[in-house]
């Protein structure tokens, strides 16, 4: 499995008056623009013929749609297991349900998305792969189902570098 883990772009700060349901909180205009600028680097890093799967949260869907549109990829699929209120086990449950010979891009949230690369590469400290908003990590797991320590970190790129 070749996997790109993409944390959603810069969203508005949580504000229960504007978005009583935090899952509806959108990207900022600056966050959208940075994703457009970052997409060529994301596309170059992404595995070929990748299936894009997103959290159902607005900011993740917007991120996935922007990247898919800019890269010329098919529309993203939505999977509840990538929701912000779930942890790494739910993300792993999703990954384990996918064919290991596939190429995937998953779009979601922290803290799960900073823990997931570390978990997959067997890092001793789970925060070892911190992903800022709009950052990506590329993990390859070979032909075995994803498990702790089964992956190789190919790249971890923060958003300021992606947008250059």
Average pLDDT value for the chain:
92
Phi first, then psi: give them for residue 31, nearest 5 degrees: -65, -40
CA pair distance 48, 43, nearest whole angstrom: 9
pLDDT tens-digit readout, 44-67: 999 888 999 999 999 999 999 999
Q: Are 16 and 73 in contact (CB under 8 A)?
A: no
Query: For the domain that residue 144 is a member of, what is the CATH number?
Result: 3.40.50.1240
Q: Are 31 and 10 in contact (CB under 8 A)?
A: yes
Does residue 37 carry a pLDDT above 90? Answer: yes
Q: What is the pLDDT of residue 125?
A: 66
Over range 13-26, report the average pLDDT: 96
Token pair in block for residue 2: 């070749």
DSSP reduced 3-state for 147: coil
Q: State the residue range of the domain holding 149.
A: 2-162
Q: What is the pLDDT of residue 129?
A: 81
Q: What is the pLDDT of residue 127?
A: 66
Q: What residues contact residue 1 under an 8 Å CB cut-off, 6+ apart? A: 95, 98, 100, 101, 102, 103, 104, 140, 141, 142, 143, 145, 146
Q: What is the pLDDT of residue 47?
A: 82
Instruction: Provide the number of structural domains found in the chain.
Output: 1
Percent of the chain with pLDDT over 70: 98
Write the CA distances from 156 to 14, 73, 74, 85, 138, integer angstroms: 26, 22, 24, 23, 6
Q: What is the pLDDT of residue 93?
A: 92
pLDDT tens-digit readout, 102-147: 899 999 998 888 888 988 988 866 667 889 999 999 999 988 788 8
CA pair distance 149, 128, nearest whole angstrom: 13
Does residue 22 carry a pLDDT above 90? Answer: yes
């Amino acid at each position: 499995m070749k996997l790109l883990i993409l944390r959603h772009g810069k969203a508005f700060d949580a504000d229960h008056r504007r978005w009583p349901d935090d899952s509806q909180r959108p990207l900022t205009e600056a966050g959208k623009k940075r994703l457009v600028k970052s997409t060529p680097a994301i596309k170059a890093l992404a595995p070929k013929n990748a299936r894009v799967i997103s959290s159902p949260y607005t900011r993740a869907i917007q991120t996935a749609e922007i990247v898919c549109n800019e890269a010329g990829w098919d529309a993203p699929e939505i999977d509840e297991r990538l929701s912000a209120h779930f942890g790494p086990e739910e993300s792993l449950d999703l990954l384990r349900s996918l064919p290991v010979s596939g190429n995937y891009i998953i779009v979601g949230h922290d803290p799960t998305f900073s823990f997931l690369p570390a978990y997959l590469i067997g890092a001793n400290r789970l925060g070892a792969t911190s992903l800022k908003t709009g950052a990506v990590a590329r993990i390859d797991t070979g032909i075995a189902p994803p498990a702790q320590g089964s992956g190789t970190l190919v790249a971890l790129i923060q958003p300021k570098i992606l947008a250059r």
